[in-house]
Amino acid sequence: ALAAPAIAQGSPSINWRLASSFPKSLDTIYGGGEELSTRLKEASDGKFNIQVFAAGEIVPGLDAINAATDGTVESAHSVGYYNWGKDPAFACGADLPFMLSARAKAAFNYQGGGIENYNEFLDQYSLVAYPGGNTGVQMGGWYRKEIKSLEDMKGLKMRIAGLAGRVVEKLGVVPQQVAGGDVYPSLEKGTIDAAEWVGPYDDSKLGFQKVAPYYYYPGFWEGGPTVSFFFNKAKFEELPESYKSLLRTCCQAVDQNMLAKYDSKNPTALKELVGSGAQLRSFSEDILTAAFDAANEVYAELSGENEWFKKQYEAMLQYRDDWYLYAQTAEYSFDTFMMIQQRNGKLAVGGGQ
């Protein structure tokens, strides 16, 4: 009998590596890489494989994007602002202080030209990127002492990075670089006065409430940070069209699903944090207003220095204005009414009846 002839199947086998910027302990954000891999593998019947490496396994977490640029890996799962020092315009595809909520961000990314703008910029770094997750509005961090007004921000040694650090510096904060594992002991010893991390679910793993119990909101520098999948452009272009389409679709499903995971985990985590000693506080109006003005100063500076930053930033402004006008109607009034019912104990089981 004849042996089976070697006939090429329609779809080639692809084996890629993905460098995540995140440790496995941040299971929700790290999990986005694993989820992309699973969805691709399943939908391609095992032909399109991406092996995921946690931060530090191939390259340090903060180098993941660069590893995709230089082809060390085919792909990275990261946040654009980690590359802020290399080029501030990287931050525009992630988040800028006082910009868009997660929901408005999705609309801007997919329907407002956000993805196209970012990829136009990324071309010079041999990258193609698609959104691949969001945390929602982050928290404003943990503070050893209560911060009652702008005056209390002055001289505060705070672990806060990148563009956000440059903004709060204008309020008198002294930004500190502290590696993830050193944040807790630094707060405990008082080497730093405050630290921002992510949101309730991720923060709750680290026990900050024991050493810096004042937990402020909102994290105005991250209203809706987009986590992105970055692909080496040459590798991406080599893919058959069917795989490119599948990859885009899988990225978008992961994008929505990560936010759904955070939104599902954060409410419970926040209750537990408060139960174990976290003192929940909102930033005062004078702090938010001063920070907003400071952010606008930084945007003016960066727009003067960097054409790509200016272009992406300005594309967001009209969108932001339109969204926050619109959202004042049905969305805000519905949410506000529901929150009032919540405060009146009317939403829980048995509460309304």
DSSP 8-state assignment for residue 112 = S
Segment 203-222, which members bind a second copy (CB under 8 A)? 217-220
Stretch 147-166 residues interacting with a second copy (CB under 8 A)? none
Q: How far apart are CA 23 and CA 110, in angstroms?
A: 28
* Residue closer to a second copy (CB basis): 210 or 320: 320
- Report in angstroms how near the CB of residue 16 gets to a second copy at its nearest: 17
Pick between residue 123 and residue 301 the one whose CB is nearest to a second copy. Answer: 301
CB of 91 to a second copy, least distance (A): 17
Q: Is the Cβ–Cβ distance between 167 and 295 less than 8 Å?
A: yes
Residue 307 interacting with a second copy (CB under 8 A): no
Q: Does 104 bind a second copy (CB under 8 A)?
A: yes
Write out the two tokens for 31: 């999990």
If binding is defined by CB under 8 A, does position 112 make contact with a second copy? yes
Nearer to a second copy, 136 or 175 (CB): 136
Give just the sign of the alpha carbon dihedral 172, 210, 274, 271: positive
What would the DSSP string read from start to end of 160-210? --HHHHHHHHTTT-EEE---GGGHHHHHHHTSSSEE--S-HHHHTTTTGGG
Structure tokens at 272: 């537990």
Alpha carbon distance 168, 287 (integer Å): 10
Site string for a second copy, 242-281 (x = CB under 8 A): x--xx--xx-xx-xxx-xxx-xxxxxx-xx--------x-
Phi, psi torsion values for 194, nearest 5 degrees:
-160, 160
Q: Taking the complex as a whole, how short is the minimal distance between the CB of residue 321 and a second copy, in angstroms?
A: 4
Site for a second copy in 173-192 (CB under 8 A): none
Of 234 and 347, the one with the shorter C-beta distance to a second copy is 347
DSSP 134: E
- Considering only 85-93, 103-111, 116-124, 229-237, which stretch makes contact with a second copy by CB under 8 A? 103-111
Q: Which of residues 19-78 bind a second copy (CB under 8 A)?
A: 39, 42-45
| Main-chain dihedrals φ then ψ at residue 46, nearest 5 degrees | 85, 5
Q: Which of 27, 62, 72, 110 binds a second copy (CB under 8 A)?
A: 110
At its nearest, how many Å lie between a second copy and the CB of residue 121?
19
Q: How far apart are CA 29 and CA 227, in angstroms?
A: 8
- 300 touches a second copy by CB under 8 A: yes
Q: Cis bond leading into 23, ω under 30°? A: no
Q: Check residue 234 for interaction with a second copy (CB under 8 A).
A: no
Is residue 228 within 8 Å of residue 131, measured between CB atoms?
yes
SS3 296: helix
CB of 73 to a second copy, least distance (A): 23
- Tell which one of 78, 109, 117, 228 touches a second copy (CB under 8 A): 109
| Region from 81-89, 97-105, 153-161, 189-197 binding a second copy, contact rule CB under 8 A | 97-105
**Neighbouring residues of 153: CB distance < 8 A, sequence distance ≥ 6:** 147, 168, 171, 172, 173, 287
